[in-house]
Structure formats: C-alpha cells, structure tokens
Structure 1
Amino acid sequence: MAFGCGIYNERFVAWENDTRGDPISGVVGLGKYDLSSILYQLSPITLLKFSYCLPLHIFGDHDHHHDHALLAFGNDADIRGTSGVQTTPIYGTDDDCYYLNLTGISFDGKILPIDPKRFMTDNLGVIVDSGTPYTLLDQEAYDHLRQDVVTYFLERYEWSPLDQPRSNFNLCYPMMEDIQGLGNFAFPKITFRFEGPANLELKEASIFQIFEIVNEFCFMVLPSYSTNILGGFQQIHHRFLFDVGASKLSFAPENC
C-alpha cells in the first residue's frame, strides 16, 4: 500500500461537508482511537507498533535534502541493536494522545527546580507528538528553562537576546561569525528526564534553529498556558518506537 504526502490541502476541520469529491488528504492517523487510526485498522499488520526517525531537513535544513523520514510498522518497527535505548511507559486510555511522565528537566547536568506537576497535561503527562513542530512547556517551566539559556549565553559569551526578533520566536540571538555549523561555540545540553529512567538528551541541533534570512538563531522551545507537548524538532535524530500494545515508548540516538 502506497502513501503520499499532501502538499496543498484545505478545509481539514469541515471535511465531512466538502462536496468536491476529494475532501481531505495528507493525514495518517496513528493514535489509539480505532476509528481514525491506521495503526488499529490494520492491526494484524502493524501489531500496534510503529517507529520513525526524523531528520533535520524537514524543519528547513535543506543541506540534507537527501534524508528521508522513514515510518515502519509491526516487525519492521525495530529498535534492537541500537545503543543507548531508553524506555518509558505510555499513559492514557482510548484517545488520540500518547502521554509520558516527564519527571524533570536538566540543564548542563543541573536539574531545574520545577515541580513535575507543571509538566502535566490532562493530569496524565507530556504529550509526545511529532506533528507539533516545537516543544511546548507550561509557562512557569518554560520561564525557568528560558532564564537558564539567557544566563548561559550572557555569562559565557556576553550575548544578550534580541528585543524584537524578526523570526517572531520568543528567544533569539543575532548570528555570530562562524556560528552556522553550531560547532565553534559551546552550546548547553538539555535533558528531558522521563519515568524509567529514560533520558532524552537534546543537543544544539534539536534546541536551536538558524534563520538565515533574518540572520538569527532561536531557542525552539515555546511557552504554553494549557498544554505540554514534546514536539518534532526535539525528536530529530532519534529513533522513536511506539509499542502501543505494551504501552511503552523506546527511543535511541540515530543518524537519520
């Protein structure tokens, strides 16, 4: 069975009332609700398991246009043989979200003083969702993390954030000479600590994004007043394996 990607799609909300004959395209449901999930509709094939590895280019790094985001099901959704595999429980019942218990966030090895309750969405945990581009954190948790980023760059390099970033993100800095490769400066390491323990280590490529057209680089975690989501940008260059039948998520570093 071949799947394609919709490029120009319209009226997703009211698709059931569309009279054009091709009301919707471009969405594959992988949630836990059987009526809208190919994972459940084809369960004899998928075995309620799927995995993916997101490359950087899907977020605008066109230097890696040859990379592909591969989606695997069933026995092909395998993470064995990969070093550094971490596993954490999946929570939630029959809905379309996968919830993880985020117990804390560390910044360069230091655990931030954030109450784990701030990470809760629907009293279940953080939603892991590759369809949300960037990670969203509760405002209070975000403020802690943002302040550590600001302090880090100010103390190390005397960099101050831009007052009005042209890229329209919350925390941005002007591009420095030779920063293009993000390798000539020491960037902070942020670790999301999940129940297990299972530690998702984020390095510069999954924390900061370069916007060449406005000559800025930005911190790609955003504040939210109601939802905590682990977004796709923070999942890049990791293999994620959802074993929905066993209610567990495994992940490991991988060059996608």
Structure 2
Amino acid sequence: MSFGSGSEVSGPGTVTTSLVALQDPTNYFVTLNGISVGSTYLPFSSSGLRTSRRGTYFYNRLESEVKRVVELTPIDDPQLRPQLCYGRNVEAKGPVLTAHFDGPADVELKQTSTFIEAKDGIFCFAMTPTDGPGGIVSNFAQTDHLVGFDIDKNTVSFKPTDCTKL
C-alpha cells in the first residue's frame, strides 16, 4: 500500500472508474454495472425490484451461474450454509469473474480471489448477498491488484499485478 506522491496506479492494464458521492462520507462507492462469469454477462439490474431486494436478486443470479459453470458438486456442510462451497479442485475449475464498473472499467477476478478456504480443503464462494444500498469489494477481490484512490479527481484505479513480486 502506498500513499502520497509517486503512489499513483497507472500504466498498461490500468482501468479507472469514478467514485460516487453518497451520504456516507466514510466509505468510497463506485457503480457496478454487472459481473461476467466466464463469457456470460450478468447485468446488475433492479428493474421492477424494491431497492432493498436488488442485491439479493443479483447475488442469486450470480451464484446460479457460478454453479452452472463449475463442473463440481457443491459441498453440503451445515456449518458453512448458506455459502456455496466446493473441494480443493475448485481452484483449477472455478470460473474467472469480471466486475464491470462505469468507465468502462473491467476488473478480472481470478479463482484465487473469488473462492476462499473456509475449512481445510473446502473453498467457498467469497461473495455474499446484501440488501443494503451498497456492497463491499472485499480484500479477497482486490488480491493481485494495485488499487489507487485519487480523491482530487474522484476516481479509483485498478491494475492487475503479481503482489508476490512487489
């Protein structure tokens, strides 16, 4: 993590999206247009839905598409419900997800940032539904990305990188 002069995120592969001003000044917000699971685009659409239900509706479509693409049987573990979980092989067979932000700013999320090891040898989908006015881009989703906030320009930038080599 870098701050101040010289800490800008730029160069090949960098994408930038605008920060959105909301009533909560303690957080930064961006506009998510949708997420692709492999080559299937799922728009974040709230048409006809109450605001408080659109996050759950979108998550249910996203989870269904992940289940369709992953050619493994989910693990049914009462301690992990309702999370979508698989065995160790999901690391190799899990889909690449792409978050599509305004800009356009497409941020590719690899399997290592979309499935986390919840128990020894059991990996669970690292996204959960929310019914609030916004969601959270977790630290797992940001794995192997440089993320830069430019408060003067009201933007956030993402650049894929191998964080093990920094």
Counterpart selection for 1:218 from 124, 141, 149: 124
1:138 corresponds to: 55
Which secondary structure state, in structure 2, belongs to the residue aligned with residue 149 of structure 1? helix
- Alignment size in residue pairs: 158
Counterpart selection for 1:230 from 137, 143, 152: 137
2:83 corresponds to: 170
Structure 2 gaps of 5+ residues are none
Note the alpha carbon deviations across 1:7-27, whole angstroms, 9 max, x for none.
xxxxxxxxxxxxxxxxxxxxx
Q: Percent identity?
A: 30
What's the CA shift for 1:187? Answer: 2.2
Which secondary structure state, in structure 1, belongs to the residue aligned with residue 65 of structure 2? helix
Alignment of 1:26-37 (within 5 A): none
Aligned AA (1:230): V
Which secondary structure state, in structure 1, belongs to the residue aligned with residue 58 of structure 2? helix
Counterpart selection for 1:191 from 77, 98, 116: 98
Note the alpha carbon deviations across 1:13-46, whole angstroms, 9 max, x for none.
xxxxxxxxxxxxxxxxxxxxxxxxxxxxxxxxxx
Distance 1:225 1:100, change over 3 A: same
Contact 1:103 1:116 in 2 (8 A): no
Aligned AA (1:175): R
TM-score, reference length from structure 1: 0.55
Distance 1:87 1:117, change over 3 A: farther
Which secondary structure state, in structure 2, belongs to the residue aligned with residue 234 of structure 1? coil
Contact 1:162 1:173 in 2 (8 A): yes
Task: Find out whether 1:151 has 2:68 as its counterpart.
Answer: yes
Which secondary structure state, in structure 2, belongs to the residue aligned with residue 76 of structure 1? coil
Higher RCO (C-alpha 8 Å, min separation 6): 2
The structure number with the bigger radius of gyration is 1
Counterpart selection for 2:153 from 243, 246, 255: 246
Distance 1:219 1:114, change over 3 A: same
Distance in structure 1 (CA, Å) of the matches to 2:147 and 2:59: 24
**Root-mean-square deviation (CA), in Å?**
2.5
Contact 2:22 2:29 in 1 (8 A): no
Contact 2:87 2:123 in 1 (8 A): yes
Distance in structure 1 (CA, Å) of the matches to 2:78 and 2:88: 12
Distance in structure 2 (CA, Å) of the matches to 1:208 and 1:193: 19
Aligned AA (2:149): F
Counterpart selection for 2:14 from 64, 85, 91: 85
TM-score, reference length from structure 2: 0.83
Write out the 4+ residue segments of structure 1 that deviate beyond 6 Å after TM superposition. Answer: none
